[in-house]
Amino acid sequence: MKDAQQCFLAQRRERVESPASRSFFGEGSAAPIALWLIIGLAAVLRVAYLGAKSIWSDEAFSIVMAKLPWSDFWRMTTTTEANMSLYYVLLRGWLRFGDPAWWVRLLSALTAVAVVPIVYWIGRELLSDRAGVLAALLLAINVFHIRYSHEARSYSLVVLLVAFSFLAFFRSFQESGHLWGGLYVLSSALALYAHFFAALALLAQFVALAAIPGPRRLATRQLARLCLVFLLASPLLWFVLFRNRGQLDWLQPIHWRDWYHFLLYMTGSGLKFGIALVAILVALKTWISRWRTQQWDMEGWSFLVLILWLALPLCVTMVVSIWKPIYAPRFLLFCLPAALLLIADGLARITYPWIRYGLVTLLVVSAVGPIRSYYVEPGQEDWRNAVEFIAQNVSAGDSAYLPNAYCEFPLNYQLEHSRMAVPGLRVVSSITPEALPERGTGHIWMITCSTTRNFGAQPAIRNYEVQEMRLFRGIQIIRLGRKPPE
């Protein structure tokens, strides 16, 4: 095992000391400066407009979960909501200092910034300083990652934990001590508690062990760590097997276009997609040539792990979705670092500096438009304007009817934080005689949101007729009044 570790370290020193691959700027001393600038850029892009969009249904549910008494919280996490349980626990402490939208989302933004140096570190360890800096830069300006760093859910947290798991995975082969092995077990187990789909990243690591060069005891030791991870996460396996209550029934069947759209999420569309595709092909060509002419070693194996990190979770998800839809692009956000590392490696291997710098400049410039568009769009559900409309037209004694109780979470949150008073609006989830407006002239406000099945369906409530309908982003509001007597 020591021989394999020494070989791995020697190959790494070769890459680090090579003048052609030290950093984006060509000087090893410039890499830390570039990294800090990139971290600053990532922080600015993730903190900007953090509270501009309305809290939507999933985020409001996170807030409700985090505010539950411990007994109710434990009951929910052990019966229906074990997924993202780590995030909910962290959010409980976070919300002790307040719950405005910008503060609730700041937890996700901070974890999103923290993954940038981790991606650089992985790139530096496996590829080169230059590739590490480029990968960190591509992550900093990636609008898919920015979008979910602005959401009060666990997606940016699981990206951080999975990235650190892969870093510890590689480092544990280089060092004979137990530090990185312990960090690997901890980060991997926490990643599973952050999101169930992190298991697919660990599956990629497991498959990669079959191809590891050197003595088999290298794989055996890592396999023992993986077993410990799944032992720590065994309560989640019990939940998946015995507590499945249709939590993913809202997902749609897959289409062949989903493969293409997933690549667009990873790379960006238009010019960015073309440059990324060329860069990946350059990296693949280089490594395939290396595999053909040189002996299989740890350096080549590390590149294979990056490919598995990107491709295997997607392939497994798509295959399973043929029978049971489980695919949503955000569930696989943790594959993003692998995609960007492969792109960065291809860019770093371009021989002519002016071509390399030109392509990187084009990637940065072409990212400005999508980032700006994301900032100005109203978000998943525009509850601010919806509640403002209700506040301007509601009368005392009116009832708000929500066919999907899940939509009640963001409505109540926005009512609580709205600058406009909404007098005497009763919120009900079913139409019963007790739920009807107290006064004869009272109205029923039927509110549906994007998480409602049959979104946009017209209501049929006896003795009531539609008087007005308004659409907001992800929300439909219908005001019903009593029919005039015949």
Instruction: Please state which of the ranges 7-16, 80-89, 251-260, 333-342 shows the lowest mean pLDDT.
Output: 7-16
The string of pLDDT tens digits covering residues 16-43 is 444 444 444 444 567 889 999 999 999 9
Q: Tokens at residue 368, please?
A: 């400005």
Bridge partner residues of 32 (DSSP)? none
Q: Tokens at residue 268, please?
A: 């960006």
The string of pLDDT tens digits covering residues 438-452 is 555 678 888 988 766
Cβ partners under 8 Å of residue 123, min gap 6: 131, 132, 133, 134, 135, 136, 341, 344, 345
Q: Kindly list the distances between the CA atom of residue 58 and the CA atoms of 138, 198, 278, 451, in Å, as whole numbers in the listed order.
A: 28, 19, 37, 9
Dihedrals phi, psi of 100, to nearest 5 degrees = -65, 155
CB 270 within 8 A of CB 366: yes
Residue type, 37: L
Q: Tokens at residue 322, please?
A: 């043929």
Please tell me the distance from the alpha carbon of residue 363 to that of residue 103, in angstroms, as a whole number.
31
Cβ partners under 8 Å of residue 34, min gap 6: 23, 24, 25, 133
Q: Tokens 């509270």 — which residue?
A: 51
Cα 320 to chain center, whole Å? 20
Strands of 399-401's sheet, edge to edge? 426-428, 399-401, 444-449, 475-482, 464-472
- Max mean pLDDT among 89-98, 267-276, 428-437 falls in 89-98
pLDDT score, position 24? 46
Instruction: Please state which of the ranges 107-111, 364-368, 415-419 shows the lowest mean pLDDT.
Output: 415-419
Dihedrals phi, psi of 281, to nearest 5 degrees = -65, -40
Across the range 308-328, mean pLDDT stands at 94
Q: Which DSSP letter does residue 481 get?
A: E
Please tell me the distance from the alpha carbon of residue 332 to that of residue 314, in angstroms, as a whole number.
7
Q: In which band, very low, low, confident or very high, does the pLDDT at 384 lie, cut at 50, 70 and 90?
A: very high
Q: In which band, very low, low, confident or very high, does the pLDDT at 428 lie, cut at 50, 70 and 90?
A: confident
The string of pLDDT tens digits covering residues 61-113 is 999 999 999 999 999 998 888 999 999 999 999 999 999 999 999 999 999 99
Q: N- to C-terminal Cα distance for the chain?
A: 90
CB 76 within 8 A of CB 89: no
Q: Tokens at residue 64, please?
A: 């409700």
Cβ partners under 8 Å of residue 360, min gap 6: 24, 134, 137, 347
User: Whole-model pTM above 0.75?
Assistant: yes
CB 56 within 8 A of CB 381: yes
